[in-house]
A and B are shown apart, each in its own frame.
Chain A
Amino acid sequence: MEADKPQEKTSPKPSVRRINWLRLIVGILTGSYILYRIIIQIIRPEYGPVYWLGFLNTGLIVGGMYSLIAIGYTLVYGVMLLINFAHGDIMMLGCFAGYFTFEYLNFLKVGDSNFLNTYPVLAIILAFLIGAAVSAGSGYYLEKIAYRPLRNSPVRLAPLISAVGASIFLETAAQIMFGANKKTYKNPDLLARGSGWNIQMDEGMIIITKTGVFSLIMAVILMVGLYFFVQKTKLGKSIRAVSQDKKTAQLMGINLDQVTSQTFIISGVLAGAAGVMWGIHNGLFNHYVGFLPGIKAFTAAVLGGIGNIPGAMAGGMILGIVESVGPAFLGIDFQLKDVIAFTILILVLILKPSGLLGKSSANVEKV
């Protein structure tokens, strides 16, 4: 029978009773602390509604990018049962590719001005295409070089260790090649950073940046596209089949190698797009840009239920929002917003390991 079914949902019956009290205590503690903070916020509000809306705005934008990266994790996990640790670095490569595209188009003279500002839309499309292509290509070769030879490795941890190796390699290579100093994205004037619409409200104003709106829309378009892709196309169906049952899928004539490669290409495209967005929206970046978003996107994927595409989308958005709202809500330093993300990861694993949208059905390994 099929021995390598995903086992992450719930381990067989064992110790379910044993962990329950832990879950209970942590759940009650977390719940009551959040309740306490809510009451505090109502009684003694530190921030007006304008600020909250502002945080929400930031959260949605970052969340969109997290979602795109998280989908990559989820897709690969579904097909290979592997946490593709180098996924954040694939995003980094996309980010660099977009940067170089913009730089090149900036030097390219068209009439009086340069290409970048004469045809901004075209430039942006080009940057996305090149960023996605570079990421997809590197994802494809990454899988071929670092993961495929290990698919039947006797050492269970081998692919994961290989993934760490790949991540370190890509990061250091980028550092040596492009330098460790931070670089700035050269956006076309159409999408100049900081420009946008100021919405006046009673006690302040919300700045909605063009880059932010652009990123969010782009992310949503990509996610919807991906969803239909996975649901409707033949490849999407193959991916779903493989993630449910590798052996049976192979027996049904699905080429596992091909599907795996294509999964890496798709997740690379999304990561590359996220990388370009990251650059356009945040401006500053260096070789380290993929590390934190990578881990956080993984957190998002776990939050939504790993292996579940809508879950990854929702998880990314939720994580983005919680992360930007969290420090104000909990009344802590904004420095500590990364801590919130990781605390969420630990809490999710205690409270609902199958994630928000993951099925907690008895997906027990057959023996």
Chain B
Amino acid sequence: MTTKPAYVLEANNITISFGGLTAVNDVSLQVPFQSIISIIGPNGAGKTTFFNAISGFYSCDSGTVLFQDRPINGIPTDEVANLGISRTYQNIRLFTNMTVVENILIGQQPRLRSTFLDAILQTSRNRREEKQSIQKASNLLDFVGLSAYADDMAKNLPYGAQRRLEIARALGNNPHLLLLDEPCAGMNPQETAAMIELIKTLRSQLKIAIVLIEHDMKVVMNISDSILVLDHGEKIAQGTPEEIQSDQRVVEAYLGSGTENLVEKYSQRKAANRKAVQPHVF
């Protein structure tokens, strides 16, 4: 690679629809290196769907996703992980019956090369890799502050620690881009503050670009370089925290501009959906 691409990730005009319901409509996003970008919006705005499109769970109906100038839409999730995009999940999804270290070892999967034959024959490559990956897992645990839990089962961890473990697991594959889906959901103020600190360190120390979905405005306004606001699958604003705070449309999307308007909007949407969604054939 001779020239360094301008953005880690470029999503251009992404549209995703499910059987007539358009979840994400013509959304674009550029993620510069070492930046923190937040996606906000009311529930059902299509934030997670947008994430899923980037990380390969859904394929876009139209639009392109470029990761360091390489198109990645339509490729399976394991290859996306291989390229260096990791993510966490809205409802924590750890490998619950495995230990904390093992969880991170799974996260390193794309960076390991030894095969099952190496394992059976116990080749030097296997031994070296095993040792290195365990060391790296321990380092990562230390980094997110979970060293004390290293050999506990993932399911026995407290809630906040599970969120951190997800991040540590995501860091396992040396990502360029980290997608965090509501990292501070359900946390108390202390935990939230610690999480903000962690996210900032991720960027400053490890030089990773981060895109996060978050409902907690304190977090969003505190750490974001740029904020993308989605509503009903459409991008209604993007800009720095200050710009977003004063944006009329954003305020409207969150609070509505009067009750009548809300009811009208609801019935309009319902009518639109009824037309769009075909009845399920049992």
Residues of A in contact with B (beta carbons under 8 Å apart)? 1, 3, 12-16, 154, 230-231, 240, 243-244, 308-309, 359, 361-362, 364, 366-367
Chain B residues whose CB sits within 8 angstroms of the CB of A240 once the complex forms: 280, 282
Judge whether A14 and B18 touch: CB under 8 Å: no
Q: Is B78 on the interface with A (CB-CB < 8 A)? A: yes
A201 shortest CB reach to chain B, Å: 40
* Contact, CB under 8 Å: B97 / A154: yes
Number of interface residues of B (CB under 8 A): 22
Q: Are B57 and A308 in contact (CB under 8 A)?
A: no
Contact across chains for A13 and B19 when beta carbons are under 8 A apart: no
Q: Indicate which residue in A12, A231, A309 contacts B57 across the interface (CB closer than 8 Å).
A: A12
Query: Among B58, B90, B280, which residue has its beta carbon within 8 angstroms of that of A364?
Result: B58
B147 smallest CB distance to A (angstroms): 26
Interface residues of B in 60-81 (CB under 8 A from A): 74-78
Known A-B contacts A13-B56, A13-B74, A230-B282; the reply to A1 vs B19 at CB < 8 A is no
Could you say which residues of chain B place their CB within 8 Å of the CB of A367? 48, 52, 57, 89-90, 93
Closest to A12 in B: B57
> Could you tell me if B76 and A308 are in contact, using CB atoms closer than 8 angstroms?
no
B126: interface (CB < 8 Å): no
Taking the closest CB of chain B, its distance from the CB of A194, in whole angstroms, is 40
CB <8 Å contact, B97 and A13: no
The residues of A that contact B217 with a CB separation of less than 8 Å are none
Report if B91 contacts A (CB, 8 A): yes
Interface of A is mostly: loop
> How distant is the Cα of A141 from the Cα of B175 in the complex, in angstroms?
52
B281 touches A359 (CB 8 A): yes
Cα–Cα distance between A359 and B18 once the two chains are bound (Å): 13
Kindly state the separation between the CA atoms of A203 and B139 in the bound complex, as whole angstroms: 84
Chain B residues whose CB sits within 8 angstroms of the CB of A15 once the complex forms: 76
When distances are taken between beta carbons in the complex, the residues of chain A under 8 Å from B75 are: 13
A336 to B78, CA, bound (A): 41
Q: Count chain B CB atoms within 10 A of each CB in A12, A13, A231, A364 and give the residue with the most.
A: A13
Q: Which residues of A contact B58 (CB under 8 A)?
A: 12-13, 362, 364
Contact A14 B91 (CB under 8 A): no
18 A-B contacts (beta carbon < 8 Å) = A1-B48, A3-B91, A12-B58, A12-B76, A12-B77, A13-B74, A13-B77, A15-B76, A230-B282, A231-B282, A240-B282, A243-B282, A308-B282, A359-B281, A361-B19, A364-B58, A366-B52, A367-B57
Residue numbers in A under 8 Å from B97 (CB-CB)? 154
Which residues of chain B are near A364, meaning CB under 8 Å? Answer: 57-58
- If A12-B57, A13-B57 are given as contacts, then 9 extra A-B residue pairs at C-beta distance below 8 Å, sorted by A number, are A13-B56, A13-B74, A14-B76, A154-B97, A243-B282, A308-B281, A308-B282, A361-B19, A367-B48
CA distance A3 to B90 in the complex (A): 11
| A14 and B59 contacting across the interface, CB-CB below 8 Å | no
Complex CA gap A50/B76 in Å reads 52
